[in-house]
Amino acid sequence: MLTIPVSGLRRTAPVLLLMLLQGAFAQTAPAPTVTVQGTRGAAGQAGNVTAAKSKVMSHHRASSCNFMGTPSAAEDEVALAYMSDFGLDDSSTNDAERFTDVAPGGDVSNTSTPSSLDAVADAPTDTGTPTVGCGPADRRFAAGRNHIERKDKSLALAFEAFDNKDYARAASLFKTAWNKVGYEEAALSLAKMSLYGLGSPKDPKQAISWLREVAEGRFDPATGRQQFDPTYPLMMSPRSEAAFMLARIYERGIGVAKDPAQAKRWYETSADAGFVPAFDILGQAWLAGYAGERNPSKALSNFKQAAEAGYVQAEYDLAKLYYNGDDGVPQNLQLAAAWFGAAANAGHAGALFAAGRMLDLGKGIPADQKKAAFYYKQAAVKGNRDARYALATYFYEGAIVPKDLGTARQLFEAAAKQGQSDAMFSLGAMEANGEGGARDRAGAYVWLTLASASGNADAANALKAVAPLLTAQDRAKADSILKPASKQ
């Protein structure tokens, strides 16, 4: 009887895994812990901001308050340190930074001589000395704008018109909202309407103009950066979304010539505004040499920022970089295992497989096949083809889990249909041998042919063994699958 050995994961690694698992073996040691700052499930502070908006005036509406220039990621730490040194850490009770619009010059009830407030407010500002807050004119101007904003309904009416698909009215109201109050949401909506041609022909250049109004607007690094919530990782503030859209426009050449440098610049702006996934994209860009320069060390830095904030994809990408190592990034299997574990605990299918693989082989951490099987199962349920193949070998061999050839064959088939080369070979072998189900030499020939075409080194020899045993009917069945007749 013909017998073709089924390839085992721990004896023959899947072809696709070789890129992930390249590098020398390291001595096993307990995996170090990693710090993830983001708290999954946290409600965030959005409710506090909304509740305070009608009562506390933000200096975002003033024209010449401190730290309201165009953003620069390189200056953020300097600006924040300066604010901290002078006691300007932002809070709703910080009078140097915020004030109520009903009393922009101060609360008269707290002064012994109420008339002195006007004297202070009207005093000339020394333009040669940096101020420690908004000037008197700025306070009054901002208070007036806030009063208008509190009573203005143009933005709400604009969204209502948009929802009703009355795009002409929506565009008019969005422009009114922008001109009256300067709502970032209004400019962003106008940009999207121009980009997608809602109510008027598509106009990418006009969209870019509106997006830049938001992305290049005044920015306070202490309060302007959005708070990242790992539970909702794709949430964006208007600023981060505008910058991200600009990055995509220049990356893909939507209405403009492709410009990798501009795309990278806007991804940096989006990341600086608090959109953590943009850090992961920047890490990929530095790793791939996008926009001309390849720098694995900068990729590592960006991956770490996103991973430590709790962005799961970045945890996985950081783990891969530590696993493989690169120029300026030494291989560190212990940190790789730790970050794979962090992403696996969050349910990332690739990380679940990778964590299982490291446990299976004892790479960077002590081997534990039983725990590896648990990770493989979780990844297989999520559709990871390599995990399905790995778990199939466990059921085929019966050393770690009870032997079950039927389940092994089903898992091999699921992975094979996803293009997993070794699963194609193993499924072909089981069908040829009649293991876990009926013998099917035509099916075996098909899967072994596909495995050989995808690079499996053992498949060619197996085909030589199976081909002579095919009947004319088997050959016709196999050819109908491999060489389907073209439809007239």
What does the pLDDT read at residue 2?
55
pLDDT at 225: 86
Sign of CA dihedral 402, 404, 409, 411: negative
Domain ranges for the chain, please list them.
64-103+134-275
Predicted structure pTM score: 0.76
Give one word for 96, left, alpha or beta, with left for phi > 0 and alpha for psi -120 to 50.
Answer: alpha
In this prediction, residue 136 carries a pLDDT of 73
Phi-psi region of 44 (alpha: psi -120 to 50; beta: other; left: phi over 0): left
Dist. CA 425–CA 446, nearest whole Å:
10
Distance between CA atoms of residues 374 and 224, nearest Å: 43
* Residue 15 CB coordination number (10 Å): 16
Rounded Cα–Cα distance for residues 333 and 285 (Å): 23
Q: What is the pLDDT of residue 53?
A: 37
Residues forming a β-bridge with 87? none
Query: Closest Cα partner for 386 from 362, 403, 411, 358?
Result: 411
pLDDT in tens, 70-127: 444 444 555 555 555 555 454 444 444 455 667 776 665 655 555 544 444 444 444 4
pLDDT along the chain (488 residues), means of 10: 56 30 33 56 35 40 43 50 53 48 65 49 43 62 75 92 96 95 93 95 96 88 82 94 97 96 97 96 97 96 97 98 97 97 97 97 95 97 97 96 97 98 97 96 97 94 95 95 75
- φ and ψ of 146, to 5 deg: -65, -35
